[in-house]
Amino acid sequence: MSKSNTAIQPSEEEPRHSPQQKVDAQRAGNTQANVAIQQPGLQPSRSPEQQAEVERIGRIDTYVGVQRDQNLFERLDYWRDLKICARVTTFDRLGLSKALDYYTKQRVKRRGDFLQLPAPVAYIEMEQHGSPTDLFLLILEFLSNPFDCRPLRDLRARTWGTLNGYGVKILIVNQAELLSFAAFNELVRISEKLKISVILTGPPYLNDILDPNSNKKKRYINIHNTFLKYHPFNLLSRQDTATVIGEWEKSGLKWSKPLNLASNPEIVALLHEASQGQLRPLYENLREIAIWKLDHPKAQINSQNISQALGIQFQPISKLKQV
């Protein structure tokens, strides 16, 4: 676990310094305002307007495209044109989901609840227990052609016909690690019969699921041999992290007096280390910092205060240990 710096001086809001504290501060040359730790169990007193702002901050859900996204889009377009099946893996689940959602919306247009034809991309996210029925229903739901749950044979025929009729050239299945063996085989058949690209995306252990040499899963040989091409969706670099932070403030937070977190290399380094290049923990940390600043408007933005605002947390896993 990583722990924030607890050697925090009292804040500007309640400037109470002992003589020894003043001497220590002068020796350190530290004139920045740092906030005091609140007593456990006490909630900050907020006005209705401040509470509304807290709730708005909690809903910020921006998409920021960086180089890794562009690399993914180019690879997907390449696979689509050549009708190649492949897999994409990452530790950054939210980052990949946002990138795939953006990719789809740029290539598929809707008029109300209906798709405009042709629709070259179909994108679904699997839910728990991904059976063939679940797979087909999600595809039909995306293509705005829902179907009552009937015999699997009818559902398969309806799905194949809809994919073909809508002009789908690439089918992207996110969270593919949730698919059952039977559902994987249905995707193999879709790629073979319809001559379209099928892309599986998920965490790194998706490769272990498809590995026929793992746990004596010889029946996965055909599935493995169908999805041979591979693209890693990389973690955010430190520069990417700074870009995301700046855009999150600009297009999401939109405060008249910005925090300017991205302009402070120490803060960027701290946030990058805390998030390990993953979007979800980065966004969670940014929301915490914004609400901390809302509750402590006079406190200065520095790495010591930011560390205090983030508190104690586990570090995200960004690398699997080799067994």
- Domain assignment present for 130: yes
Residues contacting 135, CB < 8 A, separation 6+: 124, 126, 173, 179, 183, 186, 187
Token digits for 173?
Answer: 């299945």
125 falls within a domain: yes
Neighbours of 85 (CB within 10 A): 23
Domain that holds residue 108: 67-232
User: What pLDDT is stored for residue 33 in this prediction?
Assistant: 52
State the amino acid at position 177 in one-letter form.
E
In a domain, residue 317? The reply is no
Q: Which of 232, 259, 277 is the last residue of a domain?
A: 232
What is the spatial distance between Cα 59 and Cα 283, in angstroms, rounded to a whole number? Answer: 11
pLDDT band at 114 (very low <50, low <70, confident <90, very high): confident
Residue 116 lies in a domain: yes
Is 11 contained in some domain? no
Angle in degrees, 0-180, between the axes of helices 132-142 and 152-165, rounded to the nearest 10? 30
222-255 confidence digits (pLDDT tens): 999 999 999 999 999 999 999 999 999 999 999 9
Determine the pLDDT at residue 10: 39
My answer on whether 187 and 211 are in the same domain is: yes
**Does 119 fall in a domain?**
yes
Q: pLDDT value at position 321?
A: 66
Q: How many folded domains does the chain comprise?
A: 2
- Our CA dihedral for 93, 98, 101, 103, rounded to 10 degrees, sits at -110
pTM of this prediction? 0.84
Of the residues 203, 232, 261, the one at which a domain ends = 232
Pick the closest to residue 108 from 127, 92, 122, 93 (CA basis).
Answer: 122
CATH value at residue 181 = 3.40.50.300
**197 forms bridges with which residues in the sheet?**
170
Q: Are residues 141 and 242 in the same domain?
A: no
- Identify whether 251 is part of a domain: yes
166-220 pLDDT, tens digit each: 999 999 999 999 999 999 999 999 999 999 999 999 999 999 999 998 766 789 9
Helix (H, G, I), strand (E, B) or coil at 258: coil
Examine the domain organization and report whether 130 and 276 are in the same domain.
Answer: no
